[in-house]
Structure formats: C-alpha cells, structure tokens
Structure 1
Amino acid sequence: MILILSDERDLSTTQVIEWLEFLNRKWIRINQEDKVKIEFCGKEIIFKLNNIVFNFSDVTSFWYRRGYINLQNDTTGIRPFDEFQNEELKIIMQFIYYKLDDKHHLNSIKNANVNKLIVTSMARDCNINTPEDYIFSNKEGLEQVINSKNTYITKSISGDSIREFEDFIAFNYTSEFTNDWLIPDSFSPSLVQNQIIKKYELRIFYLAGEFYTMAIFSQKDNQTSVDFRNYNNHKPNRRVPYKLPLEIEEKLDVLMKKMDLNSGSIDMIVTPENEYVFLEINPVGQFGMTSFPCNYNIEKRIADYLSYEN
C-alpha cells in the first residue's frame, strides 16, 4: 500500500493518485487537515482517519508531498500532564517519520524545508555557479554595495513567497534595487544578490536521478524579467522542453544526493554567455507547471516510482 502525506488543496497529489488508480495500486492519502488517531499494539501502529483504518506494516511505499500528520490527542485538562503527554507523542511522531523513511519513499519530512543560504553554499562546493549572497540589516553597509556599477536584487531568505492576511494575500517577489527606494537606517536582515542577466531561465524537476527541464523565456517581458512568478496572464511567457548539458546534470545530481533529496524543483538561469547559474531548490515545489507544457507526464512517472515492489 502507498501512503501519501499532502494537503487537501494540492492538485498534483490528486493527479498522481489518478494514475495510481489507473495502475490498480492501493493507496491512502493523509492531508494535514485530516484528524488522525493512532493506536499502538506492541510493534504495530494502527492509523484511523475518516472511517479508514490501516496498519503501518501495510505501507510499502511513502510519498512525502507536503504537510504533516495531524495527530489528535486526548487531553486531561491538567497542563503539566498534557505538556508531558505532548512531548511523549512528539517523540513517537519523530519515530514514525523515521520508520517511513526506511520504506521505499519519495522525499521526507526531515528535509522538506531547506535553508536557501546553506543550499547555495553547498552548490558552490559542487562547482555550480551561483549569485553572490549578501545579508544586510543597516543602510550604510547596503549602500556601499548597491551604489557600485553592478545591479542587485533582493528576495526573501526563507523562500516563503506568500503571506495571507484577513482581507488580502501578499506575494514576496524578487525585486531589483532602484534609486528611488527609501531605505531606513536599520531593517530586518535582508538577502541581497548581484542580478544575473538572463538569456532564459530553467525550471527543472528532479526525480530519482532523472531531470525534466523547461526553459522559460521571461526576460523580454518587463513584468516577468526579474521574477517570472509575477505572471503576465494576458501574454504568458513561452515555455518549452529543454535538455540540460550532461555536466550540469551530473553536478545537480551530486548536490541533490548531498542534500539527501530524491525529488524537488530546481531553478536556474542561463546567461547570454550560456553560463548556467543555480538559484534554489524547493523539495515540495510545484511540478505541474513543468509537466503539462512540456508533455513530461511527471505525474505518471511519480506513480510508477511509488508502485515499486520488492
């Protein structure tokens, strides 16, 4: 049986499940919104959710897509006892995630959120070109850099691009520094990078050593030239299948294995001089945007991978 951990809004999970149905594979999907009860019987763990009951020993393959197991816990109403019980259950959940990683699996909760600064440093160790990283929290140091002849951009350090408020949603796009910015004397630590001029950019989906790459021609549209996520719905960027040079694939494969990732979305830029520059990795990034325009059928390939049998 294939166990999938996701969230209820993730369409890609549903599309992979459609292929599992076609392949006649048994599966169970746990969304982070689901309330899960767990019972323990010696060495067996019994999961109960939405009138579904299954044993941990029945799981042959695991896909960590997103989210977490929302474990429900009976409380006593006595704070010290409840705090102790929560600590006990936290240890148990760590053990469950550890045992899931022992099974045939695609990604893991332990490396779902990667540190962008660490990943960039690791990429350099793999001889992969990257932008230069600077972190500033004061105006004086920042101005010494951005007043040079080069151009610079700023982006979130965490990679979290969406903030939800009560009445609206804010998106953190990559932005180019301009002379009309009013910069305070001090501010929250912020990431600054030298701007890489694009010939085009690449969105790469990595799956167990295989690369599915799409070129995005975003540089000729002012709305998307700095950050293609600032979509132009009236005139979308051209997106086409792309074959990475073998040397770049080999370096990226080393990086993914170094990070203990067997799946994830990789962003790169190709410069006018045909240099490949690494930007970031998102282990739980969307792959439908690469799969459909390029006819890669990644959803089927994931279903095939999860259907592995000893």
Structure 2
Amino acid sequence: MSVIAVLALDGVPGHQLTTPALAFATAARHHPPVAYDLRICAAPGFAGTSGPGAFRIETPWGLEGLDGVGTVLVPGHEGFRDAPAPEVVEALRAAAARGSRIGAVGTGTFTLAATGLLDGRRASTSRRHTEELARLHPRIEVDPEGTAVGDGPCHSAAGVLGGLDLCLRLITLDHGETVAIETERQVFMQFHAPADDADTDTGYNAVTPPGSGIEPTTRWMEANLHHPLALTDIAAHAGLGVRSLTRRFRAETGLTPLQYLLRTRIQRAQRLLERTDEPVERIAAQTGLGTPANLRHHFQRLTGTSPSTYRTAFRALVTDLTRPEREGAGPPP
C-alpha cells in the first residue's frame, strides 16, 4: 500500500485537503488492486483552512507523519510568500533524501521552491502566480500554463479542482494511464451501473493489474476493438483454452473475457465522447459496438445514461469546475 502525506499549512484551501482523499480513494474503490493510505499532517502553526467555508481539523499527524511515506503533497496556503518554518524545510528535504516523491499544488510550489529542491528543475504553479514564482526563484524553469509536470522526484501543478491533475499524474505513474482515466471519469461523473444488472454488479472496471500475465492479451484487445472479437479469438491470442482463459480473467480482473471486452469498448466510447466531436455512428464503429443502437443500449446499461447526455453533462461539468482557474478567479492559494 502506498502511503501519501498531505502537509497542511495554515490557511490551506479546504478543497486542496479533500481532493487528494477523493482522487486516491476513488482509484482504490474502482480498481481493487490499487491501495492508498492518506495522512493529513499538520505543519507547525496550523490553525485551520482558508475561506470560503473555512474549517478546523484535528489530525494525529504532525511533521513526523512524513516519515516513511512514498509521497508528500504540499498544498497551497495563505502565507505562501513567507519563508516556511525551518522544521518544514528540514522535513521536506529529509523526505526527498529518503526517496519520497514530493508534489506541490498551486502556491504550494512556492513552499517547495524555498527548500531548494526545485532548483534546476521544471515546476508549475497557478497561472496567476507563474511570473512571480519565476522572479523569486530564477533557478526554476516555470511552466507558463500550470500543467502537471514532473522533474525527478518533484511534481507540481496549477491546483485546478484542488490539485486533481497532480493526483491523476501520480496515479498514472503508480498504476498506468487507464486507471487514471477511469479515476478522473468517476470523480467527475460518479456514474454507477444499475444494482440489479447481473452483468455490472461486480463493481470492476476493465483494468489489468500491473504485471498481469494477461496484459499482452488485454492490450491486443484494446488495439483491436474495432474488429469483431469472439471468445475463441481472445483465447487463441492468449494461447489458452477458453475455460483456462476465463479463469485467468476472473482471477485477475473480476470479469469474464467478454465482460472485460464490453467494458473496454464502453470506456473507449466514453473517452471519445469526452475528448472528440465524433458522431455516435463513428464511435460505434471505432469501438466495435457496430451500430448506434447497440452502442446506446450497452452504454445506457453500463453507465445509466445515453451517449449524448453523457457528452453534454461531462463537458458542462468540466467547464463549470475549471472556469475559475482559467479566468484567474478564486482565492490566492
């Protein structure tokens, strides 16, 4: 299990504390091989979060909570222009020296920069603070767009949606792009299959565990979704009998091969609906679902909505949630 410590400095925006929990818990809930343990660690002087909706928290962890963790996240906070406390600098440097990844969200990059760990590296912060970061720390190559970047053990991002981009980047590094894409989708939409659907009540997505023996076959399936694939075709590629193939798939994914194939096709359809303007007819062909009617039937059964409604809702939600960062609105952290 990967342990992640979120360092809470005084005046941290509340959503930058809750977003990592949401992202990593979602990844674990929808992908059984994934496991994360999250610690909220209060820095010296921490009193509460910033507004709007400021709140206080109690946590058993202080700076000692950074010991032995795989990743430390440094969110933004109100006093980001001030020099961090010496014990905070020491704790972050010690974590990096032990091999921990260090991630910074929004103006948390200023705090990480003050440790010297970003010298000579690329880094990101909120767009409205990129010039200031570059001026105060000229040894850092500042990404002007605030995109999630990684350089060595250090990772940083603008802080859109409380640092979701950064969390998804770390999930990608740990478990691959497919898990990250599905985590992003679940965080945004929280679509669930109907409880009474026998084919969907496993709660599993079409994701192959890292290092799985069936991974070459699942990758071949993903590359050939536009072709008709029978169970015998999949078994032949894997070099297994149908019964042995089914046992392997159930053991490693929780799904039969054909259930896995259908979910992979629906996941590809979701991604095309989210990121392209392809009509439903073309998406049906590209995903191997054949006809628009067949796509709509399986899409409705597995997601609880229609392709057109999904596309409209997903894009509207993403636009609404990311508009404040794009327009430079919102609190300074």
Whether these two folds match at TM > 0.5 is no
| Higher relative contact order, structure no. (Cα contacts within 8 Å, ≥ 6 residues apart) | 1
More helix by share: 2
TM-score (norm 1): 0.29
TM-score (norm 2): 0.28
